[in-house]
């Protein structure tokens, strides 16, 4: 409650300041020619408003003004003096290297895809004894939130070793109306006439970690000591922009493995009995392998990223059911870079 009151108090205070200028006009740009200005005001047509008036086309100016009714506030910025030229240059180059490495890494983000299960011969047509695990591919979704990444460059941003962490959700939507059950020996399915399952799925949730070799095509050189000194003296920012990483035109590909550890498994059904909707859940492991190693490839251009993962480990524990291999394809819908 205290935090809510404080928030409203700050909002009202801000609104009061803005209301002080009910007849705001364009600030006089003759006093500070060429400088961008922040204009605050309130009018009957626009209400409370804030606008930036840019009176110059040259970027990276170090001043801006805030015009009030009776006062003008000017904020002036200037480069911080260097305590040591050599140390400061090394710090700038290090920061550029970190920025470049982060720009040219394509793991962090939200991946979404579809799952399928392949038979021992690599076919999507499952043998008779495995038909109870036949899945609806379009509804068997894969979602991964990759929240951390780290890249080791091999002397250049073009090639590096990628690793990181992610949170993975794997769903297998069963196509046939069969109830899964298991004992100490095997997983099996019992065909059901009633009820008719609207949803019948297995889900695994866990953490994932990649180890991949990544390649990028876009050129992004690091500045030299002379470049850093020149950038410091350049007031237009043009030289600084030449060293800014450009991943929008970069073609990238990563090849390697992704390891997953599943700490949660759930079997879920939805159906209707005598007009009543029912929902059943079971947290048993259903003899699913609690870990996975998958051969993986990620390829894309700019912000577009496609991925495919082919499991090198089976879906089920050894000898506990039909031999099936998970396979996933998808794309990155949100990139964090």
Q: Tell me the per-residue pLDDT of 144-175, one tens digit each, with 9 for 90 and over.
A: 999 999 989 887 878 999 999 999 999 999 99
pLDDT in the model for residue 323: 95
Q: Which two tokens stand for residue 59?
A: 């970027």
Question: Strand 325-335 and strand 109-118: pairing?
Answer: antiparallel
For residue 121, give the DSSP letter: T
pLDDT in the model for residue 258: 98
* Alpha-carbon span 34 to 68, nearest angstrom: 19
More confident residue, 97 or 178: 178
- Residue pair 258/209 in contact (Cβ under 8 Å)? The answer is yes
Q: Does the pLDDT at position 336 exceed 80?
A: yes
Out of 31-45, 125-139, 190-204, 271-285, least confident range: 31-45
What average pLDDT does the segment 116-143 reach? 94
pLDDT in the model for residue 69: 77
Q: 51-70 burial, b if ≥16 CB within 10 A, otherwise e?
A: eeeeeeeeeebeebbebeee
The residue written with tokens 């003004």 in the block is 65
pLDDT in the model for residue 7: 45
Question: pLDDT category, 6, cuts 50, 70, 90?
Answer: very low
Q: Which two tokens stand for residue 75?
A: 């904020």
pLDDT in the model for residue 171: 97
Spell out the residues 6+ positions from residue 124 whose beta carbon is closer than 8 angstroms to its own. Answer: 116, 117, 118
Q: Domain map of the chain by residue range?
A: 14-76, 106-335
| 5 strand-pairing partners | none
Query: pTM surpassing 0.85?
Result: no
Q: Does the pLDDT at position 9 exceed 60?
A: no
* Alpha-carbon span 166 to 145, nearest angstrom: 5
**Kind and range of the H or E element at 83?**
none
For residue 33, give the DSSP letter: T
The closest alpha carbon to 105, from 247, 231, 220, belongs to: 247
Question: pLDDT category, 59, cuts 50, 70, 90?
Answer: very low
Tally of CA atoms within 13 A in the half-sphere of 70 that contains its CB? 2
The residue written with tokens 């109306």 in the block is 177
Q: Which range, 57-66, 99-108, 215-224, 266-275, is most confident? A: 266-275
Question: pLDDT category, 1, cuts 50, 70, 90?
Answer: very low
Q: Which two tokens stand for residue 197?
A: 């399952």
- Residue pair 223/292 in contact (Cβ under 8 Å)? The answer is no
Q: Which range, 163-172, 211-220, 228-237, is most confident? A: 163-172
Question: Strand 109-118 and strand 187-191: pairing?
Answer: unpaired
């Amino acid at each position: 409650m205290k935090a809510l009151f404080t928030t409203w108090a700050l909002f009202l205070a801000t609104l009061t300041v803005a209301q002080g200028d009910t007849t705001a006009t364009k600030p006089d740009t003759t006093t500070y020619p060429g400088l961008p200005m922040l204009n605050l005001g309130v009018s009957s047509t626009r209400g409370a408003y804030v606008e930036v008036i840019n009176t110059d086309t040259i970027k990276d100016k170090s001043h801006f003004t805030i015009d009030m009714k009776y006062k003008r506030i000017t904020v002036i910025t200037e480069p911080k003096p260097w305590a040591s030229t050599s140390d400061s240059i090394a710090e700038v180059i290090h920061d550029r290297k970190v920025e470049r490495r982060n720009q040219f890494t394509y793991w962090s983000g939200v991946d979404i895809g579809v799952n399928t299960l392949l038979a021992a011969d690599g076919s999507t047509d499952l043998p008779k004894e495995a038909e109870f695990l036949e899945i609806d591919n379009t509804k068997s979704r894969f979602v991964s939130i990759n929240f951390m990444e780290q890249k080791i460059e091999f002397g250049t941003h073009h090639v590096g070793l990628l690793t990181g962490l992610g949170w993975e959700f794997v769903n297998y939507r069963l196509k046939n109306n069969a109830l899964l059950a298991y004992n100490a020996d095997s997983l099996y399915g019992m065909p059901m006439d009633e009820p008719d399952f609207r949803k019948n799925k297995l889900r695994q949730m866990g953490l994932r970690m990649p180890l991949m070799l990544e390649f990028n095509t876009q050129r992004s050189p690091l500045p030299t000591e002379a470049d850093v000194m020149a950038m410091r003296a350049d007031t237009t920012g043009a030289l600084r922009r030449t060293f800014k990483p450009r991943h929008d035109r970069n073609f990238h590909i990563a090849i390697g493995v992704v390891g997953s550890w599943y700490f949660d498994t759930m079997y879920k059904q939805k159906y209707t009995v005598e007009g009543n909707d029912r929902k059943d859940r079971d947290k048993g492991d259903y003899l699913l392998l609690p870990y996975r190693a998958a051969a993986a490839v990620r390829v894309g251009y700019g912000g577009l990223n496609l991925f495919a993962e082919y499991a090198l480990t089976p879906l089920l524990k050894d000898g506990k059911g039909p031999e099936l291999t998970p396979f996933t394809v998808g794309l990155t819908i949100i990139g964090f870079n």
